[in-house]
């Protein structure tokens, strides 16, 4: 496995989001005035302050899981050689985790650093997005009933597995292409 290259805190995605934020803020300031701009800014600041502890907790969970579970164990259960079993485990973990994006994304990143392949991480995140039991119980079943939720789960259970498998195929294809003949 290649050594992990540290990411810059100010990569292209930061600059895109920062430019869009500043641009939108300037448009609001010019069109709506300073009072509306500062009102929106204050609301956003409060949201930011509410999110920061969750981001820190999610990042710590990801880092601690990486320290608590041996790399070999993660690689065996969720690595590229884990086959359908690894994708199924990752999908079920995503389905069951009662957390938000501030926990799920750092955990998926930590899984990859700890030995899981991109396919397992994608099956995990997609399982959380598509199948999340917590969301189904709290939000879907009151609106649609258990029959609908069960039907949706059965109809879409294959999606995280297919995404994880597709990611593995693509990852191998690009790795083979990069290594050359």
pLDDT tens, 120-165? 999 999 999 999 999 899 999 999 999 999 999 999 999 999 999 9
Euclidean distance between CA atoms 136 and 128, whole angstroms = 11
% of residues, the chain, pLDDT over 70: 92
**Chain position carrying tokens 């609001």:** 28
Mean pLDDT lowest among 11-15, 25-29, 129-133, 136-140: 11-15
- pLDDT for 1 equals 47
Euclidean distance between CA atoms 130 and 78, whole angstroms = 20
pTM: predicted TM-score of the whole model, two decimal places: 0.75
**Chain position carrying tokens 């609908």:** 148
pLDDT higher than threshold 80 for residue 16: yes
Euclidean distance between CA atoms 116 and 112, whole angstroms = 4
**What are the backbone dihedrals phi and psi of residue 79, each rounded to the nearest 5 degrees, phi first?**
-80, 180
Band (pLDDT 50/70/90 cuts) for residue 4 is low
DSSP 8-state secondary structure symbol assigned to residue 157: T
Give the number of C-alpha atoms closer than 13 A to the C-alpha of residue 148, restricted to the C-beta side.
9
Residue 99's contacts (CB-CB under 8 Å, 6 or more residues apart) are: 58, 107, 128
Across 81-98, average pLDDT = 94
Euclidean distance between CA atoms 92 and 131, whole angstroms = 9
């Amino acid at each position: 496995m290649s050594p992990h290259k540290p990411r810059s805190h100010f990569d292209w995605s930061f600059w895109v989001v920062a430019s869009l934020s500043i641009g939108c803020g300037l448009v609001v300031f010019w069109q709506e005035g300073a009072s509306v701009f500062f009102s929106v800014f204050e609301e956003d600041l409060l949201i930011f302050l509410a999110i920061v502890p969750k981001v820190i907790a999610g990042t710590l969970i990801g880092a601690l899981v990486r320290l608590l579970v041996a790399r070999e164990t993660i690689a065996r259960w969720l690595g590229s050689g884990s086959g359908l079993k690894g994708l199924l485990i990752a999908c079920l973990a995503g389905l069951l985790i009662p957390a938000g994006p501030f926990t799920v994304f750092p955990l998926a990143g930590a899984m990859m650093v700890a030995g899981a392949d991109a396919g397992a991480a994608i099956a995990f995140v997609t399982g959380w997005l598509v199948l999340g039991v917590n969301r189904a119980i709290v939000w879907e079943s009151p609106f649609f009933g258990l029959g609908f939720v069960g039907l949706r789960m059965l109809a879409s259970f294959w999606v995280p597995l297919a995404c994880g498998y597709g990611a593995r195929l693509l990852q191998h294809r690009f790795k083979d292409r990069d290594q050359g003949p």
